[in-house]
């Protein structure tokens, strides 16, 4: 964003919209943010983000949901918890990022839903195998993305990983072991 | 009999000293105690204070009646005849009611007798122990026997028992036997060991054979009690908890009944399972806690080991027999225990690792930096990095370390760090000749004092200090031992810089002993751990008769601390008057001194002879000879130990016999003798100004460090002689004798030339005060004076009392200012000591401190002539008028004050609004009014919280520059953020733009976080217009006081004399002095009232002995001396056509003498001839270096 762009209009309507959506809960997490930028400065992935974390909080508080959901910032959060640890206001920033991921997966546009696929496939793989099995996960992710070109894009990376022995074909020793855990979480989430 | 004092002041830091002086100057006796072994608190470590970048602490000393106190550097020490100082002393209990408290003080022994210690330093030379030096903030090491502050007077060594290794070398080294470890008393210190453990009862006596303690093992409690009942004088009981619990408990109770002062220490075995496995430690801990509650001193883990038990018990013995408990009666108590600096390393959540503190020598706290920059610090003021000693050239400051951090339980602003960092940045620049680059990383730069913003602007624009609004959080070791800092700048770019040092601007924490002190004094603490005070009674604690001074109630800078201390002193003084009735008003009889001006000088020289170092190092016969031949000397007497009563009696006897008219005493520790000189003066009928004490002691051992003049030359010549070498001759002794002789000869010459004529007449005091301005500050000040029994005339221009504060409807803290003001007006109007003149103005004023004559004209045209001793100007201020941004054109544009009133009246309905925007600092801190108005941020927060309370969903946008919520008001800033208000920072170059469409504001501004423009269309635009002073130029002219460029009153010194004017006897408070909140105005008013009472409580004011005089025949009226006088004591009297000196204002600094081209101005006690004679005496007595080997050999 730069000065040549037209000003972002903060109409009462924009603010109102934030009051009813699921966004209020996320706003509540970051309300006492004082824009010190500690989160941004300490984020290891900030270099790759299009919006800095503190910009995300600011847009959220403005009620500019769309701008936030269009960014890839929260998808890039690797949940290292550095920002949460360092925030002088003690805000649960990693939780806010996670909440944004959930919101985007549930209510976001097609792009966001597609981005969520990675997480969904990852978790499904973990649930099935009791741990991550890279090969299986890779296949199911590519299938879910419905993009035949995607595997080609990842080929160089895949070969590299294979060379280093990082791609396991996987055994079934831990299969289903985490099933009860997932079930429990599901039942807790269903409870009001 | 218990000693009685007017007030007890706890804490001898700057706040405590101010409060003690304020009370002592009104004639109250004050006990000033401090837990540290030294005076001055944290300020002893700080050399430079903004805005002058000097110290200036001495400006707090009394200006009149100067001879009642010492008149030299206040950082070194304070002597006032009404102040008793007890160091290393804590308050351990406070019983009784206001007016008659009984305070229990625990004085921890320093093991050094201050009447014997001569600070020679031999003890520290032999001490093998090392501990981090508190004075140098841990940057250097000290010994276990040490000087707490190197520059104090008196300065005595103290023993830090915790770090002592019990080698007793200092005891052996001390030449004056000042160190006392109570060796003699060990054999009488009976210890009973009650233990069923046979091994232990056999071991213990063996272990302690060397220590000489008589040990009495007892297998059961009965046996021990039997010993006690049998009359054994027992000092300590070790009680093993392996005894059955009931028996242990009974033994403890019964032992304490028999010997209430018996120290009982519990031995608790940690390894053995005494009880069931389940609750072995829980049950035991409870039992221990219960026994400690019943009077046991402490608990010690078993099994004991000889290596630990012996030193521990020995130290405990020394504490038990050396520590004292005192009990005094006081009328009121002032707590000024100050604060501690936050230490990131102390706290596990203190981010020491993130900030690299402790792990990198380049990361310092601001206190450590202060010591580095100090000439008395570890690097002698050269800014070098501890560790590798590299010069510091690129330095960064990081603000808000330990402040404004809810995770560290610090939801407050420490108030002083911003200004300290600017000061340190400028200091670094100056120390390095401008080479150092200084960068300050900040969140909000809180320059919230009247002149602070200009100080910051000068630092930024002239000195080139960089200010970066960012909070770096990635700090890594950088190249060349530097510190790498990563931060996001204002434009959102990630930046990396390497600095030589990173200074953490650490915030305030309550003193470590707070819990104990609060319990002892019976006061409440607030959620941040500071002393709880109320917003509208900020000098009071939760206990009646106990007041909070300095930074004890809320973090504050020096100015704030002193104002708070003055207000606390006023509260205490009032309390003492209310509960004690009028003070004994009979003044001390003025001593009568004979007129010796027509007598030839007859000098008596007394030399103290019997100090061991003196005998060893000085040839006293030679010294005596030299003294006898000095002009005017009639007798030289040797006095054995002048410091003792007996010695002094001999001196007095000799003096009575020879009837001298000048007395010169050569002894150690001159300050000890000052009160005695007064006594001697009464006996001899001789003015103490004609007596002098010379410190011959320091010189007597100064030669040891070979610093005396000529020593090097002597050593060189000695070593060239055959058989010679260093120390081969006794030239050291001769040199010292010579040096001492010169010192005495100089003092004698000075005494010979002293002017024996009597001092100018003292000014009688009119016991009435005039207060100009009937607002919050004026009324509070009037009440403060009237409550202490003096008449007050309160002059108000308007037809009703109240002023600006009447417009307020709420306060941030939730008080009711309307009710408060109504009550205050009623109290003032009903007070029999206050005469209120409304609709009146001052038209004329003449006179000086103690004696003003002022004419006040009322609206009806009646003129009143008032005689008053002190004046308080509280002419107040007003809300600044703003016409920009559509104010007063569009209905939707309000000021913060208007919004507050409409919200209170209900004419603004928060629920019907769809958006509110606020613009802070509108015009304040701009070119026309470049100061922070202090009240607008608080006003905005107040309105935000009110709006959000009524309509939680209402969007509120605040455009701000720096939010100035210092102290505990930070909490409301956090709350406002939490309630959902959005704060958007702007810079003065890029202000928000406001247009109007359909009578509604449209605001466009840059959002620095997003880096883009935003547009807001709120229903209401609220402007923080700021405050400005009422036009006080006329009043300032009438009373001869100054105004700042903004039209506020110019106080004498913004830090040290914050409510005084340069013109003595005139004081200021409230908005007229500078922007202030209600709380600050109240404090200022109370402090000013106390300053006025200080003058009113004197019957007459007399000047000091050293004042300037003018030889009118030589004076050419050139007027050069008038502007150079720092006290404004000189003026040109046009009627008489001569320069006049106000003796009360003149402090004898001598600037006028230096400026006068004709030598027409002279200083009593420093005449030219006298000074020349002193110099002659100094040079005459100094044999030339090359002549020395002959005299020695």
- The whole-number average pLDDT for the span B1049-1065 is 89
Which of B1009, B1016, B1018, B1020 to mutate: most A Cβ within 10 Å? B1009
Task: With CA atoms as reference, report the closest residue to B953 among B893, B1003, B913, B896.
Answer: B913
For B541-557, what is the mean pLDDT? 92
- The answer to whether B1032 and B775 have CB atoms below 8 angstroms apart is no
Mutant choice from A13, A29, A31, A38 vs B, greatest count of B C-beta within 10 A: A38
> For tokens 């009462």, what's the residue?
A12
Q: Are strands B851-858 and B863-868 parallel, antiparallel or unpaired?
A: antiparallel
pLDDT digits (tens, 9 = 90+) for B487-546: 888 777 788 899 999 999 999 999 988 999 999 999 999 989 999 998 889 999 999 999
Residues B929 and B888 in one domain: yes
Q: Is the pLDDT of residue B101 over 90?
A: yes
My answer on whether B487 and B345 are in the same domain is yes
For residues B977 and B987, give the distance between their C-alpha atoms in angstroms, rounded to a whole number: 20
Average pLDDT, stretch B379-392? Answer: 87
User: Could you list the residue range(s) of the whole structural domain that residue B96 is in?
Assistant: 3-108+331-338+511-580
Would you state the pLDDT for residue B724?
A: 45
CB of B1010 within 8 Å of a chain A CB? The answer is yes
Measure in Å the smallest separation between the Cα of A152 and chain B Cα atoms: 34
Specify the number of domains making up chain B. 8
Taking the mean position of all CA atoms in its chain, how far away is CA B48? 14
- State which of B984, B1009, B1025 marks the end of a domain: B1025
List chain A domain ranges.
1-107, 109-192
Residue B708: what pLDDT? 40
Q: Which residues contact B796 (CB under 8 A, 6 or more apart)?
A: B773, B774, B778, B836, B837, B838, B839, B840
Fold of the CATH domain A1-107: Fumarate Reductase Iron-sulfur Protein; Chain B, domain 2 (1.10.1060)
What's the CA gap between B59 and B72, in Å, rounded? 10
Nearest to B914 among A12, A40, A59 (CB): A12
Degrees (nearest 5) of the Cα angle A43, A47, A52? 65
Give me the DSSP letters along A88-138. Answer: TT---HHHHHHHHHHHHHHHS-HHHHHHHHHHHHHHHHHHHHSS--HHHHH
Q: What 3-state class would DSSP assign to A40?
A: helix
Q: Answer yes or no: do B355 and B494 share one domain.
A: yes
Neighbours of B732 (CB within 10 A): 18
Of A7, A38, A58, the CB nearest to B1015: A7
Among the listed residues B118, B513, B627, B581, the one whose alpha carbon sits nearest the alpha carbon of residue B331: B581
DSSP for B538-574 reads TTB-SSTTEEE-GGGSS---HHHHHHHHHHHHHHHHH
CA distances from B780 to A89, B565, B662, B809 (A): 39, 16, 50, 19
Q: Which positions ≥6 away from B197 have C-beta within 8 Å?
A: B240, B242
Q: In this structure, are B475 and B419 located in the same domain?
A: yes
Residue B965 confidence class, pLDDT cut points 50, 70, 90: very high
- Whether B323 is covered by a domain: the verdict is no
Cis peptide before B51 (omega within 30 of 0): yes
pLDDT tens figures, A141-167: 888 888 888 888 888 888 888 888 877
CATH of the domain at B1149: 3.30.70.20
Domain C-terminal end among B506, B533, B559 = B506
Q: Is the dihedral of CA B1021, B1027, B1030, B1032 positive or negative?
A: negative
| Arithmetic mean of pLDDT, B156-162 | 91
Chain B residues with CB under 8 Å of A33 CB are 977
**B559: in domain:** yes
Comparing B811 with A4, the larger pLDDT belongs to B811
Q: Is B400 on the interface with A (CB under 8 A)?
A: yes
The Cα-based distances of B511 to B41, B508, B530 in angstroms read: 11, 9, 8
Which of B471, B915, B1001, B1021 to probe by mutation at the A interface, max A CB count within 10 Å?
B471
Contact B1188, B714 (CB under 8 A): yes
Supply the pLDDT for residue A21: 61
Tens-digit pLDDT profile for residues B633-687:
888 888 877 777 777 888 888 888 888 888 888 877 666 677 778 778 888 888 8
Rg of chain B taking only CA atoms, in angstroms: 34
Tell me, yes or no, if B980 comes closer than 8 A to chain A by beta carbon: yes
Q: Are residues B572 and B432 in the same domain?
A: no
Task: For residue B1006, list chain A residues with Cβ-Cβ distance below 8 A.
Answer: 3
Whether residue B820 is found in the same domain as residue B873: yes
Structure tokens at B152: 């104090």
Give the pLDDT confidence score for residue B835 in this predicted structure.
Answer: 95
Q: Are both B943 and B928 inside the same structural domain?
A: yes
- Main-chain phi, psi angles of B355, to 5 degrees: -85, -5
Instruction: State how far residue A169 is from chain B, nearest Cα, in angstroms.
Output: 40
Same domain, B356 and B408: yes
The whole-number pLDDT of residue B588 equals 62
- pLDDT of B725 above 50: no
pLDDT in tens, B1161-1189: 988 878 888 888 888 888 875 544 444 44
* One domain for residues B742 and B642: yes
B344 touches chain A (CB under 8 A): no
Do residue B816 and residue B735 come from a single domain? no
Give A5 or B721, the one with higher predicted confidence: A5
Q: What is the pLDDT of residue B581?
A: 58
Interchain CB contact of A17 with B (< 8 Å): no
B170: its two tokens? 């200092």
Is position B320 within any domain?
no
Condensed to tens digits (0 to 9), the pLDDT of residues B445-489 reads 999 888 898 999 999 999 999 999 887 777 889 888 899 998 888
Query: Which of B538, B560, B561 has the alpha carbon at shortest distance from B450?
Result: B560
- Show the tokens assigned to A163: 């060379």
Above pLDDT 90, what percent of chain B?
Answer: 39
Q: Which tens digits make up the pLDDT trace of A96-109?
A: 999 998 888 887 78
B1014 touches chain A (CB under 8 A): yes
Does residue B115 belong to any structural domain of this protein?
A: no
Check which CATH number belongs to the domain holding B501 and give it: 3.50.50.60
- pLDDT tens-digit profile of B320-365? 888 889 999 999 999 999 999 998 888 777 677 788 888 899 999 9
What integer pLDDT is reported at residue B275 of this predicted model?
46
Note the pLDDT tens digit of each residue in B421-430.
Answer: 999 999 999 8
CB < 8 Å from B in window 104-143 of A? none
| Cβ-defined contact of B400 to A11 (cutoff 8 Å) | no
Residue B717: per-residue pLDDT: 52
- Do B128 and B165 form a contact (C-beta atoms < 8 A)? yes
User: Are the beta carbons of B239 and B252 closer than 8 angstroms?
Assistant: yes
Query: Residue B655 is encoded by which pair of tokens?
Result: 């003096």
Residue B597 falls inside a structural domain: no
Q: At B14, which helix (H) or strand (E)?
A: helix B14-24
Tell me whether residue B862 is exposed, middle or buried, using C-beta atoms within 10 angstroms of its C-beta: 0 to 12, 13 to 18, 19 or more: exposed
pLDDT for the residue B259: 85
Euclidean distance between the first and the last CA atom of chain A, given in angstroms as a whole number:
40
Domain stops at, among B506, B534, B554: B506
Report in angstroms the alpha-carbon separations of B619 from B245, B690, B717, B724, B731.
Answer: 68, 28, 22, 22, 11
B957 to chain A: nearest residue by CA?
A: A62
CA distances from B821 to B538, B568, B774, B808, B1078 (A): 16, 21, 11, 10, 11
Sheet harboring B298-302: ordered strands across? B215-218, B190-194, B234-240, B263-269, B298-302
Q: Quick one: closest CA in B to A19, which residue?
A: B953
Residues B488, B466 share a domain? yes
| pLDDT tens digits for range B860-883 | 889 999 999 999 999 999 998 877
Say yes or no to pLDDT of B252 above 70. yes
Work out the average pLDDT over A157-178.
Answer: 80
- For an interface test with B, which of A62, A68, A92 has the most B Cβ atoms less than 10 Å from its Cβ? A62
CB spacing of A41 vs B487 below 8 angstroms: yes
Look at residue B651 in the predicted model and tell me its pLDDT.
Answer: 83
pLDDT in tens, B31-76: 999 998 888 888 888 888 887 778 888 888 877 776 666 667 787 7
- State pLDDT tens for residues B768-827: 999 999 999 999 999 999 999 999 999 999 999 998 999 999 888 888 999 999 999 999
Q: Is the pLDDT of residue B987 over 70?
A: yes
Residue B929 pLDDT > 80:
yes
CB within 8 Å: B914 and A90: no
Q: How confident is the model at residue B1100 (pLDDT cuts 50, 70, 90)?
A: confident
Q: Does B470 sit within 8 Å of A88, measured CB to CB?
A: no
Q: Are B1021 and B1043 within one domain? A: no
pLDDT confidence band for B271 (50 / 70 / 90): low
- Structural element, H or E, at residue B741: helix B731-752
Q: How confident is the model at residue B616 (pLDDT cuts 50, 70, 90)?
A: low
Least confidently predicted of A30-34, A45-49, B93-97, B665-669: B665-669
User: Is residue B76 situated within a structural domain?
Assistant: yes
| ipTM metric | 0.84
Domain-embedded: residue B847: yes
What's the confidence (pLDDT) of residue A5?
Answer: 64
């Amino acid at each position: 964003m730069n000065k040549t762009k037209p000003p972002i209009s903060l109409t009462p309507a924009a603010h109102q919209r934030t009051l009813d959506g699921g966004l209020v809960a996320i706003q509540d997490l970051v309300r006492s943010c004082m824009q010190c930028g500690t989160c941004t400065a300490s984020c290891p992935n900030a270099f790759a983000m299009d919006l800095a974390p503190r910009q995300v909080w600011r847009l959220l508080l403005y009620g500019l949901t769309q701008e936030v959901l269009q960014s890839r910032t929260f998808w890039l959060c690797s949940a290292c918890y550095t920002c949460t640890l360092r925030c002088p206001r003690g805000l649960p920033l990693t939780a806010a990022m996670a909440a944004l991921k959930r919101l985007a997966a549930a209510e976001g546009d097609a792009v966001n839903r597609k981005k969520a696929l990675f997480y969904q496939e990852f978790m499904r793989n973990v649930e099935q195998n009791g741990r991550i099995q890279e090969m299986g996960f890779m296949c199911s992710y590519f299938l879910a993305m419905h993009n035949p070109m995607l595997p080609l894009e990842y080929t160089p990376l895949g070969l590299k990983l294979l060379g280093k022995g990082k791609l396991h074909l996987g055994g079934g020793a831990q299969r289903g072991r985490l099933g009860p855990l997932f079930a429990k979480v599901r039942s807790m989430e269903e409870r009001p | 009999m218990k000693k009685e004092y007017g007030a007890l002041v706890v804490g001898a830091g700057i706040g405590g000293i101010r409060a003690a002086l304020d009370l002592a100057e009104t004639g109250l006796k004050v006990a000033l105690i401090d837990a540290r072994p030294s005076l001055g608190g944290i300020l002893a470590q700080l050399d430079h204070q903004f805005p002058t970048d000097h110290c200036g602490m001495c400006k707090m000393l009394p200006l009149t009646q100067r001879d009642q106190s010492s008149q030299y550097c206040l950082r070194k020490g304070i002597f006032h005849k009404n102040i008793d100082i007890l160091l290393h002393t804590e308050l351990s209990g406070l019983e009784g009611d206001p007016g008659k408290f009984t305070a229990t003080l625990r004085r921890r022994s320093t093991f050094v007798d201050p009447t014997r210690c001569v600070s020679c330093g031999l003890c520290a030379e032999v001490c093998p122990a090392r501990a981090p030096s508190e004075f140098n903030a841990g940057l250097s090491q000290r010994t276990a026997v040490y000087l707490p502050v190197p520059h104090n007077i008196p300065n005595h060594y103290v023993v830090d028992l915790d770090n002592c290794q019990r080698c007793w070398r200092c005891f052996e080294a001390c030449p004056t036997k000042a160190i006392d470890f109570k060796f003699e008393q060990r054999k009488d210190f009976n210890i009973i060991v009650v233990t069923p453990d046979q091994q232990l009862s056999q071991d213990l006596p063996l272990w302690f054979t060397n220590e000489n303690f008589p040990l009495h093992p007892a297998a059961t409690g009965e046996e021990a009690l039997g010993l006690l009942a049998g009359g054994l004088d027992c000092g300590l009981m070790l009680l093993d908890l392996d005894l059955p619990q009931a028996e242990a408990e009974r033994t403890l109770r019964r032992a304490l009944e028999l010997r209430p002062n018996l120290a009982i220490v519990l031995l608790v075995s940690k390894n053995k399972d005494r009880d069931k496995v389940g609750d072995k430690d829980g049950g035991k801990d409870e039992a221990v806690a219960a026994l400690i509650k019943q009077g046991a001193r402490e608990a010690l883990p078993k099994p004991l080991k000889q290596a630990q038990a012996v030193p521990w018990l020995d130290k405990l013995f020394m504490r038990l027999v050396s520590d004292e408990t005192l009990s005094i009666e006081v009328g009121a108590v002032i707590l000024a225990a100050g604060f501690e600096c936050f230490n990131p390393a102390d706290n596990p959540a203190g981010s020491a690792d993130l900030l690299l503190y402790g792990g990198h020598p380049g990361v310092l706290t601001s206190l450590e930096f202060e010591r580095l920059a100090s000439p008395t610090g570890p690097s002698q003021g050269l800014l070098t990095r501890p560790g590798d000693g590299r010069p510091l050239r690129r330095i960064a400051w990081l603000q808000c370390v330990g402040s404004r951090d809810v995770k560290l339980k610090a939801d407050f602003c420490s108030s002083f760090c911003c200004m300290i960092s600017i000061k340190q940045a400028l200091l670094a620049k100056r120390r390095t000749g401008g080479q150092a680059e200084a960068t300050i990383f900040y969140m909000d730069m809180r320059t919230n004092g009247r002149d602070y913003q200009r100080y910051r602007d000068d630092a930024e624009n002239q000195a080139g200090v960089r200010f970066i609004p960012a909070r770096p959080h990635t700090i890594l070791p950088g190249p060349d031992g530097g510190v790498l800092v990563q931060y996001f700048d204002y434009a959102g770019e990630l930046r990396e810089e390497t600095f030589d040092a990173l200074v953490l601007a650490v915030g305030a924490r309550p003193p470590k002993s707070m819990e104990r002190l609060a319990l002892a004094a019976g006061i409440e603490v607030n959620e941040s751990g500071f002393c709880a005070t109320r917003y509208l009674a900020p000098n009071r604690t939760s206990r009646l008769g106990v007041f909070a001074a300095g930074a004890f109630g809320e973090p504050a800078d020096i100015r704030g601390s002193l104002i708070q201390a003055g207000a606390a002193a006023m509260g205490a003084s009032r309390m003492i008057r209310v509960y004690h009735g009028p003070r004994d008003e009979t003044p001390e009889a003025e001593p009568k001194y004979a007129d010796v001006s027509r007598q030839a000088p007859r000098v008596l020289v007394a030399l103290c002879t019997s100090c061991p170092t003196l005998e060893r190092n000085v040839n006293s016969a030679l010294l005596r000879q030299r003294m006898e031949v000095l002009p005017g000397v009639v007798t030289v007497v040797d006095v054995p130990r002048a410091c003792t009563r007996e010695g002094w009696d001999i001196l007095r006897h000799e003096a009575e016999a020879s009837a001298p008219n000048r007395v010169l005493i050569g002894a150690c520790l001159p300050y000890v003798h000052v009160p005695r000189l007064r006594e001697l003066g009464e006996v001899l009928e001789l003015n103490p100004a004609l007596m002098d004490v010379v410190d011959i002691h320091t010189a007597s051992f100064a030669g040891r460090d070979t610093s005396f003049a000529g020593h090097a030359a002597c050593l060189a010549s000695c070593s060239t002689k055959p058989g010679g070498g260093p120390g081969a001759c006794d030239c050291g002794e001769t040199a010292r004798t010579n040096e001492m002789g010169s010192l005495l000869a100089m003092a004698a010459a000075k005494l010979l030339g002293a002017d024996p004529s009597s001092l100018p007449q003292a000014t009688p005091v009119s016991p009435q005060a005039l207060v100009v301005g009937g607002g919050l500050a004026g009324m509070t000040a009037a009440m403060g004076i009237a409550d202490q029994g003096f008449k007050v005339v309160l002059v108000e221009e308007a037809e009703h009392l109240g002023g600006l504060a009447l417009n307020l409807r709420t306060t941030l803290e939730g008080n009711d200012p309307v009710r408060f003001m109504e009550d205050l007006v009623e109290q003032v109007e009903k007070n029999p000591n206050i005469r209120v003149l409304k609709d009146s103005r001052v038209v004329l004023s003449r006179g000086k401190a103690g004696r003003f004559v002022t004419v006040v004209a009322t609206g009806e045209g009646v003129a009143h002539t008032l005689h008053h001793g002190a004046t308080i100007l509280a002419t107040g201020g007003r809300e600044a008028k703003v016409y920009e941004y559509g104010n007063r054109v569009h209905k939707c544009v309000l000021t913060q004050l208007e919004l507050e009133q409409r919200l209170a009246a209900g004419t603004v309905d928060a629920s019907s609004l769809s958006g509110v925007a606020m613009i802070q600092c509108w015009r304040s801190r701009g070119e026309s009014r470049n100061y922070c108005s202090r009240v607008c941020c608080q006003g905005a927060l107040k309105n935000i919280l009110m709006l959000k309370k009524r309509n939680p969903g209402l969007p509120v946008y605040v455009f701000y520059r720096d939010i100035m919520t210092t102290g505990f008001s930070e909490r409301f800033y956090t709350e406002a953020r939490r309630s959902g208000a959005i704060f958007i920072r702007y810079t003065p170059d890029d202000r928000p733009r406001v247009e109007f469409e359909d009578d509604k504001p449209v605001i466009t501004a840059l959002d620095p976080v997003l880096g883009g423009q935003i547009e807001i269309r709120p229903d209401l635009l609220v402007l923080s217009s700021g405050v400005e002073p009422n036009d006080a130029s006329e009043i300032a002219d009438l009373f001869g006081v100054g105004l700042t460029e903004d039209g506020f009153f110019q106080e004498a010194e913004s830090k040290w004399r914050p409510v005084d004017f340069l013109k003595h006897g005139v004081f200021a408070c409230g908005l007229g002095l500078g922007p202030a909140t209600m709380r600050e105005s109240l404090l200022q008013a109370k402090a000013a009232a106390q300053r006025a009472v200080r003058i009113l409580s004197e019957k007459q004011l007399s000047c000091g002995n050293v004042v300037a005089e003018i030889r009118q025949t030589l004076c050419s009226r050139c007027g050069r001396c008038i502007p150079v006088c720092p006290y404004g004591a000189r003026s040109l009297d046009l009627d008489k056509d001569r320069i006049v000196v106000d003796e009360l204002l003149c402090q004898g600094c001598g600037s006028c003498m230096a400026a006068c081209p004709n030598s027409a101005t002279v200083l009593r006690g420093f005449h030219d001839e006298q000074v020349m004679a002193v110099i002659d005496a100094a040079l005459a007595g100094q044999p030339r270096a090359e002549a020395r080997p002959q005299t020695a050999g």
